[in-house]
């Protein structure tokens, strides 16, 4: 797992924030938005938090290796992005994605360019994420964890494994829905309870 650290000149918050990216993304997703605005990491830094941005094993700056990770899933495509983030034809307009949704539209191109494949075995990937994040918290001490989408299970697993160190977990758009199959990636057997 790759870890990037940054802190404001004047740290005013007691606990660091650990930012965990989504499934096919990478830690740099927290640094900016697809349309060039400051990312979440900047906002936490401005609020006085030390920030740790991770690239989960096999993503971004933490290279994939089949010996350690097993099979990799299919590459992230425009069709996958459109299916995950845009409304189906005939449904009510999607008011949260205000960008163009076709290949060639700058924001969608940026999103797809930053995405990579996810490991084919979600369960193994999540246990590896938990192991690496647990090791990080063992070094950092008390921390706040912010996760996104398919990175959310890692936050919950770490909170269970290190109840004494995790001060809070904020899961932004956690992976779902429950009991769903993700072709080439596995399935979600349960939901939050």
Q: How confident is the model at residue 186 (pLDDT cuts 50, 70, 90)?
A: low
* pLDDT one-digit tens code per residue, 16-63: 999 999 988 999 999 998 888 999 999 999 999 999 999 999 999 998
Catalytic-labelled residue, pool 62, 118, 143, 149: 149
pLDDT recorded at residue 136: 99
pLDDT > 70? residue 189: no
pLDDT value of position 181: 64
pTM (two decimals): 0.85
Residues 6+ apart with CB under 8 A from 168: 144, 145
pLDDT of residue 36: 86
**Domains held by the chain: number:** 2
| pLDDT tier, 175 (very low <50, low <70, confident <90, very high otherwise) | confident
What is the chain's alpha carbon radius of gyration, rounded to the nearest angstrom? 17
- Round to whole Å and give the CA distance between 144 and 165: 9
Q: Report the 3 state secondary structure along the chain.
A: CEEEEECCCCCCCCCCEEEECCCCCCHHHHCECCCCCECHHHHHHHCCCCEEEEECCCCCCCCCCHHHHCCECCCCCHHHHHHHHCCCCCCCCCCCCCCCCCCCCHHHHHHHHCCCCCECCHHHHHHHHHHHHHHHHHHHCCEEEEEEHHHHHHHHHHHHHCCCCEEEEEEECCCCCCCCEECCCEECCCCCC
65 and 153 in a common domain? yes
18 lies in some domain = yes
- What is the CB neighbour count within 10 angstroms for residue 192? 9
If asked whether residues 16 and 108 sit together in one domain, one would say no
Q: Catalytic: 87?
A: no
pLDDT for 193: 44
**Reported confidence tier of residue 100, pLDDT bands at 50, 70, 90:** confident
Is 72 in the same domain as 145? Answer: yes
61 and 149 fall within a common domain: yes
Residue range of the domain that includes 137: 2-76+119-187
Pairwise CA distance, residues 110 & 107, whole Å: 5
Beta strand 186-187 pairing with 181-182: antiparallel
Q: Looking at per-residue confidence, does 159 or 176 come out higher?
A: 159
């Amino acid at each position: 797992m790759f870890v990037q650290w940054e802190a404001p000149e004047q740290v005013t918050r007691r606990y660091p924030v650990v930012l965990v990216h989504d499934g096919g993304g990478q830690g740099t997703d927290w640094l900016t938005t697809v349309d060039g605005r400051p990312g979440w990491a900047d906002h936490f830094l401005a609020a006085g938090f030390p920030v740790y941005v991770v690239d989960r094993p096999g993503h971004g700056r933490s290279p994939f290796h089949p010996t350690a990770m097993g099979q990799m899933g299919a590459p992230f495509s425009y069709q996958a992005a459109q299916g995950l983030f845009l409304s189906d034809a005939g449904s009510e307009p999607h008011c949260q994605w205000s960008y163009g949704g076709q290949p060639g539209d700058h924001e969608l191109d940026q999103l797809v360019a930053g995405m990579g494949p996810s490991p084919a075995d979600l369960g193994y990937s999540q246990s590896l994420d938990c192991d690496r994040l647990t090791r990080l918290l063992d070094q950092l001490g008390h921390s706040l964890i912010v996760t996104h989408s398919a990175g959310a299970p890692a936050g919950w697993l770490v909170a269970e494994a290190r109840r004494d160190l995790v001060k809070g977990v904020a899961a932004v758009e956690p992976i779902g829905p429950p009991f769903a199959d993700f072709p080439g990636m596995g399935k979600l057997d349960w939901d939050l309870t």
